[in-house]
Amino acid sequence: MKKYITLAIAALALAACTNLDEHLYSQISKDEFMKHDAVIAQYTSRPYTKLQNWGEEQSYWTLVLQIGNEMAVPKSWDKSWGEERYVELQTHNISTSNKLVGCGWDFCFNGISACNDAIYELGKLEQNETVQRNIAECKILRVYYYFMAVDLWGQVPFSIDKTVTTLPEVKNRQEMCSWMETEIKGCMDLLNDSPSISTYGRVTKDVARFLLAKLYINSEVFTGKARWQEAADICKQIIDSGHFKLTASYGQNFAIQNEGSSEAILAIPYSTVYTSHTFYPFVLTLNSDLLPLFNISAGTWNGTHMGQPDFMARYDENDLRKAETWLFGDIYDLNGQRWTIEDGVDANNKPIVKEYSLIDTPIDESHFRSGLDRMEGARIIKWPYQTDGSLTSYSVDMENDFIIMRYADVVLMYVECLLRQNNAAQAAEVPDFKQIRKRAGLEPIPEAELNLDSFLEERQKEMCLEGWVHNDLVRFGKYLDAWWAKPADKEPGHILLPIPEDKRGANPNLGQNPGY
């Protein structure tokens, strides 16, 4: 897919160089310049490129993972990663000046600003079909950024007009849900009907439907009004469209070259050549002594982004997704040989050679603050690392695209809505739900055992590390529970994060969330 995109760009460049009758663009007005479809698409790309910041160490994705129960960032064995900001996220005792919370906020509102800019410029053009479609795409992306902000902070500064210079008014969740629903429905007919090579990584009607389903399934949390059947209807529409299907294996969705995933409703494209500084989990999760295992020459931060031990313990022993998501247990090199390291010297000054084995569970909770032992903690391999030697720096992105809206999620939302309406019998028989379990090496969950608790366990194993953990735990009433290195939280207001203090200073209309 990336090859096709690259070739298309090259073709445009070649045409510009060989067609001597074309205008010199430095000599035409901006309005005339913006009439060209390729230029319109290029301008529209800015809201999309803002999505690429999703995968950074200090952005929305890693913020969400650190406040959830799937992953933790304890102090490393070499005593790095010990800053208080990581402790705050793990324990939900978060200060209003936490840097990582501010970075997550910036991801959302920088994206919203980019959408507003693009919509403003496109709005000045003659409104043909191409321009209207591009505006609709930007509006749906703006809804996405707002949805993610509403999920974490509840109240948000609301600004959809670039020309307004006064401080943005603040809207609550109920007001935002009403606006987001209206915005999605108003754009639907203008969007591309079905996915194709040309729409990969771009907004289509299915992206809009996915967002609408997320809005409805979270409606009880966001507004106090349950809308389970409406969420189920939208999910069924996506399922019945035939546009998507489950991949044969779980790992196909996260592979190095995963552009062909049949589950990708919306993906963020990453590239070792064309993007940088935005998706480098190998730096965040691998000890430096594991980098040669993957032929990675980049320096590492000895990152400790690792599986929460109690979460790791809850995997079924037959669940294939555990080994496709985490590096743990005895470690082998690419030739199938045990990976070894030299760890000091003995009394005769000879190297002590140890076989590498990562302990995933149990791990002493005190190690979160004091530091892990060298071989403690399952490490992230859900997005496999290329072993061709191209990962030479943390500024070099991996080739794996990040699917932020995936078909399996739609199936799981549909099943959840059936369960929420006391229809476990139908939920247990949803064909693609049974297939999700089958490809994981597990038997389908029978009706008698299918309830909200068992379903959440299944949902978390399938969607692990994909960025929905806060949203899910809040909806299932589990976010304030105790887990590894985190006591139970008695403050109900903590289901939301604090509004960053510097943002409140810039906009006095913003109040602080309860509990902070």
N-term to C-term CA, the chain: 46
Cα 367-370-371 angle, rounded to 5 deg: 65
- Alpha helices by DSSP H, listed for 281-420, are 281-285, 309-313, 320-325, 367-370, 407-420
Residue by residue, DSSP assigns 202-228 as: S--HHHHHHHHHHHHHTHHHHHS---H
Q: Encoding tokens for residue 180?
A: 């987001």
Average pLDDT over residues 56-74: 96
| Whole-Å CA distances, 117 to 32, 129, 155, 503 | 18, 20, 22, 21
Cβ–Cβ < 8 Å for 365, 307: no
> What percentage of the chain has pLDDT greater than the value 90?
87
Secondary structure of residue 157 in the 3-state scheme: strand
Q: DSSP per residue over 34-85, as a string?
A: TTSHHHHHHHHHHHHHHHGGGGSSSSHHHHHHHHSSSEE-PPPTTS-S--HH
Q: Which residue has better confidence, 392 or 301?
A: 392
Q: What percent of the chain clears pLDDT 70, i.e. is strictly above it?
A: 93
Neighbour count for residue 431 (Cβ, 10 Å) = 11
Nearest to 383 by CA among 283, 451, 460: 283
452-463 and 431-439 are packed helices; what angle lies between their axes, rounded to 10 degrees? 60
Mean per-residue pLDDT, 344-367 = 95
* Rounded-to-integer distance, Cα 320 and Cα 309, Å: 18
- Non-local (6+) Cβ contacts of 364 within 8 A are none
Cα Rg, the chain, nearest whole Å: 24
Residue range 486-497, pLDDT digits in tens: 999 999 999 999
Q: Are strands 357-358 and 379-380 parallel, antiparallel or unpaired?
A: unpaired
* The predicted structure's pLDDT at residue 455: 98
Phi, psi at 384, each rounded to 5°: -60, 150
Calpha distance 206→267 (Å, rounded): 13
Which stretch of 1-15, 34-48, 110-124, 353-367 has the lowest confidence by average pLDDT?
A: 1-15
- What pLDDT does 14 receive? 33
Higher pLDDT, 185 or 25: 185
pLDDT of residue 13 exceeding 90: no
Reported as a pLDDT band with limits 50, 70 and 90, residue 303 is: confident
Looking at the predicted structure, is the pLDDT value of residue 42 above 80?
no
Is it the case that residue 3 has pLDDT exceeding 70?
A: no
Amino acid at 446: P
- Rounded to an integer, what distance in angstroms lies between the CA atom of residue 183 and that of residue 177? 10
- Which pLDDT tens digit goes with each residue over 441-482? 999 999 999 999 999 999 999 999 999 999 999 999 999 999
Output the pLDDT for position 83: 93
Q: Concatenate the DSSP letters of all residues of 295-312 into one string.
A: T--S-------EE-HHHH
Looking up tokens 């309860």 gives: 514
At residue 8, the pLDDT reads 36
Task: Note the pLDDT of residue 19.
Answer: 40
- Sequence ranges of the domains in the chain: 281-380
Per the prediction, the chain carries an average pLDDT of 92
